Structure 1
């Protein structure tokens, strides 16, 4: 793949750059109130969609523009370069719906997902089923034309702000555990659904636990066939493991610029050791970006994400956590004494990155299988 822009892509990039310069909300990254920050993200989602910048590579009939995935990468790059708010993460859940849903389900769920009219979360992990997701215990018992769901989900990111959930539940306890799971599209406003925010180490309630008590789900809201839940889950996390799909490259570039500014403020840029550390952070980001471009090349050729996404996931976790470590090294005691607020929270937020979409150990096992290595 030639990574240089075609004339059409260069024109798109220039137009996007100007649009972002004109529309990025001033001071968005200074907002501290959680509700205000959530409202801003939702508003930015709708603004991007109205301008035609959400769902760039999605089919036109479902609210997209039918462009190459290259345009999604350009959007990520320019958003990071101009310090825009985070891009909406519609890719991984949306792709699962697009791949497995009936035509009626696609028409119902995909357009409002892309437009931001509905917010989604994924109900996968449980107290006893995190990395070993196939051990989940939430049950869905068929009762006429409904399923009755009971169980608990943990670490449901954004669950307290979501309207709908992509839910995994066990529909057949008598078959091997990977084969007895089904997927459902469920409104979290249904009777019997209780969402409780979880405050993580950063002090933010960015995730939640969700309880399902005799929740009735119509059969027509099952996604895919009965027992196809594991396959659907693997498709979902394959996109979730892709840093380009969730806008991480743009976020990493923003953070790296801030870390460079910290070093400059403290007069460290002239010291070889600190320059070496900053250079390493830049190289880690570039390695990750180029890995994403390689995978993007495969996708442009019609190949969906596969187990090679585990490589990007490991590179992503290493880059983000190393960068946050570097920020802590530069700040020293200032962050702990309150002289440089915000960075300690960011550091704690980076710690679970190695768990998102499957832990680092799981990713290494996947890579080992690809290379026919012992696990």
Structure 2
């Protein structure tokens, strides 16, 4: 394992850092600003990155990328994370949806959608989860029925991040209920502004509204907007899900350093029980850091990282929840205050505590990721599946 940049990587890091320093302010500790100007700033920053070939570094130049290496993308992400970069609205579209369009879409799809998404002109969402099919994505019930050159879609999705401000989405539907559940799915591009699409934001405990319910009522989608062959939607979805697992591998929010600083200011750093927990958090953070270094080393050698990427989200999401819970308990009766103007540390621990359970669901629940680690890292046998060879209509 080599922790050092190669000369070429060091040169790119310096270029990236100089570019970021020219356009952005350094990130300040505390709660990030998400005021009314955030979306405007996000679109402007996305366009600046695209114009300078920093938006999607590994994409080929013909797609608006730089034709760079995965390690260069890692370096860019590391450097950009140190600045006040408004990137949230485009993470799903450029990290998950548009790569799926590039992999399975026709040339006219790539011509129509890729550049606009890359430059921040259009925003995308991912429409997979349903009330009765969350972790079991293949158990979805939203149906698409062929009608001439169109497909008519009816159903419901839930937990769709950013649907309320998205222009397009990739939509996984059931087109054949008379085959096993993984074989009767088909993926489409859907216009989120279609009158048959209704978006209802979900008011979260954290105060945010990132997640949404989305209802489809007789939405007509041209067959030309299908991604992949009919019935092959699971194959398409796997590409999206693998990109998703990598995209949500880490967790924003307070870490051991922030709670240690707060404990020092609060005068509780001398508490032996707290110091023991602090040591555990530090060790876990260092273990995760070294696991990421392993992935980065593989990328720098041109290798493909393995399923150990699933480890990251399990560790960091639970880590975040534990740290914030301890911080709120440390504040005693003041811990119930969630007003950033009145709560200690700008209420960052309260907000992150409320957000952490959602992070443990997004991008695959803890249970799903543990199964991936058990089967693909440890080589343990798969869970028994009694529905494997039954038609979905019989379940």
Q: TM-score, normalised by structure 2?
A: 0.84
Match in the other structure for 1:324: 324
Does structure 1 residue 237 correspond to structure 2 residue 241?
yes
Q: 1:30 to 1:366 in 2, by over 3 A?
A: closer
Please report how far the alpha carbon of residue 297 of structure 1 lies from its aligned counterpart in structure 2 after TM superposition: 4.5
Please report how far the alpha carbon of residue 42 of structure 1 lies from its aligned counterpart in structure 2 after TM superposition: 3.3
Match in the other structure for 2:389: none
Match in the other structure for 1:71: 72
Aligned 1:174-185 pairs, distance under 5 A = 174-185=178-189
- Aligned residue for 1:240, secondary structure, equals helix
Does the Cα contact within 8 Å between 2:124 and 2:169 map onto a contact in 1?
Answer: yes
Match in the other structure for 1:143: 147
Distance 2:369 2:218 in 1: 35
Please report how far the alpha carbon of residue 247 of structure 1 lies from its aligned counterpart in structure 2 after TM superposition: 7.7
Please report how far the alpha carbon of residue 339 of structure 1 lies from its aligned counterpart in structure 2 after TM superposition: 2.6
Match in the other structure for 1:119: 123
Match in the other structure for 2:10: 10
Match in the other structure for 1:199: 203
Match in the other structure for 1:372: 380
Further displaced range: 319-328 or 357-366: 319-328
**Structure 1 stretches lacking a partner, 5+ long:** none
Does the Cα contact within 8 Å between 1:45 and 1:116 map onto a contact in 2?
Answer: yes
Does structure 1 residue 291 correspond to structure 2 residue 266?
no
- Aligned residue for 1:241, secondary structure, equals helix
Match in the other structure for 1:49: 50
Distance 1:360 1:171 in 2: 29
**Structure 2 stretches lacking a partner, 5+ long:** 384-395
Please report how far the alpha carbon of residue 200 of structure 1 lies from its aligned counterpart in structure 2 after TM superposition: 1.1
Please report how far the alpha carbon of residue 84 of structure 1 lies from its aligned counterpart in structure 2 after TM superposition: 4.2
Match in the other structure for 1:353: 359
Structure with the greater alpha carbon radius of gyration: 2
- Aligned residue for 1:217, secondary structure, equals strand
Please report how far the alpha carbon of residue 271 of structure 1 lies from its aligned counterpart in structure 2 after TM superposition: 5.5
Aligned 1:86-97 pairs, distance under 5 A = 86=87, 88-89=90-91, 90-97=94-101
Q: CA RMSD in A?
A: 2.8
Please report how far the alpha carbon of residue 202 of structure 1 lies from its aligned counterpart in structure 2 after TM superposition: 0.8
Q: TM-score, normalised by structure 1?
A: 0.88
Distance 2:259 2:54 in 1: 29
The C-alpha deviation readout for 1:167-187, integer Å capped at 9, x for no partner, is 001111111111101111111
Please report how far the alpha carbon of residue 218 of structure 1 lies from its aligned counterpart in structure 2 after TM superposition: 1.0
Match in the other structure for 1:218: 222
Q: 1:130 to 1:53 in 2, by over 3 A?
A: same
- Aligned residue for 2:4, secondary structure, equals coil
Further displaced range: 232-241 or 34-43: 34-43
Does the Cα contact within 8 Å between 2:202 and 2:211 map onto a contact in 1?
Answer: yes
Q: 1:290 to 1:83 in 2, by over 3 A?
A: farther
Q: 1:64 to 1:326 in 2, by over 3 A?
A: farther
Match in the other structure for 2:387: none
The C-alpha deviation readout for 1:142-182, integer Å capped at 9, x for no partner, is 11111111111111000001111110011111111111011
Further displaced range: 352-361 or 260-269: 260-269
